[in-house]
Amino acid sequence: MPSNVSEGGDGGEDKKKKSDEAKLRGRSGNNWLILFATVAIALGSFLLTNKRGNTLPKTYAICSKDSDKVYVVDDRNLQTQCVVVDSVLIADTGSLGSIREKWGDIQIRYLPEGAVVLPGLSDSHGHVLEYGAAQQLPLEGAKSPQDVVARVREYILATPEILEDKSQVIFGGGWDHTAWSSTGWPTAADLDADSVVRGRPVILQSKDCHALWVSSKAIKDSLPLPETIEGGVIVRDESGDPTGLFLDNAQDLLKQPELTEAELLRRFNVAVRDAHRYGLTSVHDAGLDPMSLAFFKRQAKKGTLPIRIYGMSYFDPHAPYWGNVTRPLIATGNGRLTTRSVKIFADGALRTGGSALHEVYHDNPKTRGFMRLEPEILFDVIPKFVKDGWQVNVHAIGDRANGIVLDAFEASLVGADVGALRPRLEHAQMMTKEDMTRLGKLGVIASVQPTHAISDMWYAEDRLGPERVKSLYAFRSIVDSGARITLGSDFPVETMDPLSGFYAAVTRKSPDGKSPHGPGGWFPEQKLTRREALRGMTIDPAYASFTESILGSLEIGKRADFTVLSQDIMTVPEDQILSTRVIATVIDGKPVFGDI
Ligand SMILES: *[C@@H]1O[C@H](CO)[C@@H](O)[C@H](O)[C@H]1NC(C)=O
Ligand SMILES: [Zn+2]
């Protein structure tokens, strides 16, 4: 792994100091002034480096004063008192006594009362740039289509460059029609009804990212549209005109402007800032389009990626196979960007009725959802990607989609070493008992999102009926079938906060302690243990990204990525988990958020 880590602007600071001194000398020759200036500059750069946390020595220890509050997350689930960092690596763990003895006068930072050190938290499924975009005009919590339109209106009025230029495309995201009392989809007419919004191109992404609700200007700019599209739906009225709602593959039909580098960077910085605040040191980005992939590569090349990104590149079933022309990248840039996996979409989402089920939807007997590609394509390209060295991660929600993908995995894994390939089912949301058993036998990883479970638990039974709903988010059954899991949030679909995922996995309740099955949680027999949930956010994502030898635990020789929390999430009462604060997020031995 390259270690040419750039040290921020410290070198530049030195140079600036020298030239300032030279200038002062040349101008006045006054020694007092030089002395004063030098002291001031030295003081300034001291404060600056102090703020950046650079006063940490190269080698330091973090210890709890009197109990074992360092969770190593090794095979034995060791808890100990101290962890020693040497530069970018974990150099040791052990009791305070043993560390003092071995490391002499090493600088020790003591944890605040009750705080814990965990391996750096990782999100196995999120969307980095989409998160940054969604933060611009967030539509979460809107109570009706009119509420959404009102937010769009306010956003336009508050953003002069958009207010003044009617051609600017307005993006928003996070609306959720399942939370509205109105039935049916929102329409372009809803947007056009507002005098400020009318006539502007507006593109609003649904909470699950499987639907776009757009204005008539956005439709007009995208004409001509095909009659139908495979793996997607253009919702139309009686006379056949698009109503303004585009599902799954139909979303690609909308013309969107090229994003500038500045806009990409803005989105990226927003996402990274929040990830650091939430204690994340690593994110698996579950879908890079060519533009995002190129952006991440440019960032990595500069050697300054502020977080670890494990990227999955989209496979477009209508584009030529690319697995043999693009090469996987491993730990490129400053060691923080890896793109060695491909993301394939099998079906849509449960919320928008696009997930492919074996039987019809309970609340819509006209459909059993749809696949977003012909199953033959899976059987064709999965073996190719595998042969060309790519990890294959397939989005599958419905039980039919999961079954078909497992068929395809099974066919391509014959005689293969599954440990070398580590195929993943992204979501693995609803599976038959037989398929769970198959998942375990094949060694396919289930990449699951506990916060989806507590979001969907309120309407899932309507969609699926009382029997089939039991096979949805059945995390305990998946683990008991011998399958590996790894946890994620699917941000911006859900909050990025990994503690929300931890809480959802171990309680199966909403943040206010409720569930459709009462205060004991929704299908409480499917809860994960806290230990499983912690592993699911640390060592399991490391395994799922081929990095378990360098990340995911605080074992000697691994990268010094860790997260310091204000209290022990492994022992606090359930209802206090969500009041835990992140004290510090540390990557390669250096705090990127907070202080130690
Ligand atoms: C890549 O694979 C495709 C599809 O199998 C094939 O048509 C093409 O010739 C291959 N290209 C290279 C450079 O190997
Ligand atoms: Zn996703």
Q: Identity (one letter) of the amino acid at 127? A: H
Q: Quote the CA–CA distance of 503 and 151 in Å, as a whole number.
A: 30
Which residue has a Cα nearest atom 14 of ligand 1?
324
What pLDDT does residue 182 have? 81
Lowest average pLDDT, out of 130-139, 459-468, 542-551, goes to: 130-139
pLDDT over threshold 80, residue 33: no
What pLDDT does residue 351 have? 83
Asked whether the beta carbons of 586 and 561 are under 8 A apart, the reply is yes
C-beta of 325 in contact with ligand 1 (< 6 A): yes
Q: How confident is the model at residue 5 (pLDDT cuts 50, 70, 90)?
A: very low
Average of per-residue pLDDT across 249-255: 93
pLDDT over threshold 50, residue 42: no
Ligand 1 atom closest to the CA of 325, numbered from 1: 13
What pLDDT does residue 20 have? 37
C-beta of 321 in contact with ligand 1 (< 6 A): yes
Residues of the chain with pLDDT > 90: what percent?
Answer: 82
- Angstrom distances, CA of residue 393 to CA of 396, 503, 537: 9, 26, 18
Q: How confident is the model at residue 16 (pLDDT cuts 50, 70, 90)?
A: very low
C-beta of 380 in contact with ligand 1 (< 6 A): no
Q: Quote the CA–CA distance of 491 and 497 in Å, as a whole number.
A: 9
Ligand with the closest atom to the CA of 128: 2
What pLDDT does residue 32 have? 44
Q: How confident is the model at residue 263 (pLDDT cuts 50, 70, 90)?
A: confident
What is the per-residue pLDDT across 364-375, written as a single tens digit (0 to 9) for each? 999 999 999 999
What pLDDT does residue 52 have? 41
- Angle of CA points 232, 234, 237, to nearest 5°: 150
Please list, in sequence order, all residues whose beta carbon lies within 8 angstroms of the beta carbon of residue 18, skipping any fewer than 6 positions away.
none
pLDDT over threshold 60, residue 260: yes
Ligand with the closest atom to the CA of 124: 2
Strands across the sheet with 242-248, in order?
Answer: 170-175, 202-206, 211-214, 242-248, 232-236
- Find the farthest-apart pair of alpha carbons in the chain and give their distance in angstroms, rounded: 89
Lowest average pLDDT, out of 204-208, 323-327, 482-486, goes to: 204-208
pLDDT over threshold 90, residue 3: no
Instruction: Tell me the best of 315, 321, 380, 386 to mutate to test the pocket of ligand 1, counting ligand atoms within 8 Å of each CB and taking the most.
Output: 321
pLDDT over threshold 50, residue 13: no
Residue closest to 590 by CA, chosen among 339, 336, 337? 336
Average of per-residue pLDDT across 518-535: 98
- Angstrom distances, CA of residue 465 to CA of 189, 350, 403, 457, 459: 33, 13, 20, 12, 10
Average of per-residue pLDDT across 85-93: 98
Mean pLDDT value across the chain: 90
Domains identified in the chain and CATH numbers: 58-120+558-596 (2.30.40.10), 129-253 (3.10.310.70)
C-beta of 319 in contact with ligand 1 (< 6 A): no
Ligand 2 centre from 470 Cα, in Å? 22
What is the per-residue pLDDT across 378-427, written as a single tens digit (0 to 9) for each? 999 999 999 999 999 999 999 999 999 999 999 999 888 999 999 999 99
Q: Quote the CA–CA distance of 574 and 577 in Å, as a whole number.
A: 6
What pLDDT does residue 136 have? 86
What pLDDT does residue 48 have? 39
10, two tokens = 């410290």
3-state SS, residue 329: strand
Q: How confident is the model at residue 11 (pLDDT cuts 50, 70, 90)?
A: very low
Q: How confident is the model at residue 161 (pLDDT cuts 50, 70, 90)?
A: confident
Q: Quote the CA–CA distance of 92 and 85 in Å, as a whole number.
A: 7
Please list, in sequence order, all residues whose beta carbon lies within 8 angstroms of the beta carbon of residue 555, skipping any fewer than 6 positions away.
72, 74, 90, 93
Q: Helix and strand tally (H, E) in the chain?
A: 20, 24
What pLDDT does residue 374 have? 94
Residues of the chain with pLDDT > 70: what percent?
Answer: 91
What pLDDT does residue 256 have? 85
Ligand 1 centre from 322 Cα, in Å? 8
Average of per-residue pLDDT across 429-458: 97
DSSP β-ladder status, 202-206 and 211-214: antiparallel
Q: Quote the CA–CA distance of 149 and 492 in Å, as a whole number.
A: 20
What pLDDT does residue 468 have? 97
What pLDDT does residue 482 have? 95
Which residue has a Cα nearest atom 3 of ligand 1?
321
468, two tokens = 């089939």
Q: Quote the CA–CA distance of 118 and 539 in Å, as a whole number.
A: 11
What is the per-residue pLDDT across 529-561, written as a single tens digit (0 to 9) for each? 999 999 999 999 999 999 999 999 999 999 999
Three-class SS of 511-552:
CCCCCCCCCCCCCHHHCCCHHHHHHHCCHHHHHHCCCCCCCC
CB atoms within 10 A of CB 436: 23
Asked whether the beta carbons of 347 and 371 are under 8 A apart, the reply is yes
What pLDDT does residue 12 have? 35
3-state SS, residue 252: helix
Q: Quote the CA–CA distance of 217 and 169 in Å, as a whole number.
A: 10
What pLDDT does residue 257 have? 84
Could you tell me which residues are beta bridge partners of residue 487?
448
What pLDDT does residue 7 have? 30
